[in-house]
Amino acid sequence: MTKKLLVLIFISLTSHLIVAQSSANGVWDFSMASPMGSVSAKVTMMVEGNVLKGEFDLGGGRTWPIEEGEVDGNNISFNINRDGSSMTYVMSAEVNEDSISGIASAMGTTAEWSMTRAE
């Protein structure tokens, strides 16, 4: 192969990976109604490779960091701990352009949740 062809293949593969794994990047409006009450938050997410990082800002100085975040194509998963308590939400979802929908599991119950892109 020529050097030029190899460079084009590398650029093509790299740009595909960046687009495929960065769709969750940004600021999102989160909402979930569960047996434990309604939750709304401003969520900031950043994708680094296949790792999802960020935090939920519930207002009033309350934040929940995203823990154990993973990205697999359009699918994301992560955990959040409610105000540092022993209750952990196990979250999974599919990113679809400017919306995300998923399921949260905690204490033997599940609830649907969603996000829409804020920015």
Which of residues 74 and 9 earns the better pLDDT score? Answer: 74
Q: What is the pLDDT of residues 66-86, one digit of tens each?
A: 999 999 999 999 999 877 677
* Structural domain harbouring 76: 3-117
Query: pTM for the complete prediction?
Result: 0.77
b/e per residue 102-114 (b: at least 16 CB within 10 A): bebebeeeebebe
Reduced 3-state DSSP string for 70-118:
EEECCEEEEEEEHHHCCCEEEEEEEEECCEEEEEEEECCEEEEEEEEEC
Which CATH number fits the domain that encloses residue 91?
2.40.128.120
Q: What is the pLDDT of residues 12-29, one digit of tens each?
A: 444 444 444 458 999 999
Q: How many domains does the chain have?
A: 1
Confidence of residue 58 (pLDDT cuts 50, 70, 90): very high
Tell me the mean pLDDT in the region 36-62.
Answer: 92
Using alpha carbons only, give the angle 86, 95, 38 rounded to the nearest 5 degrees: 40
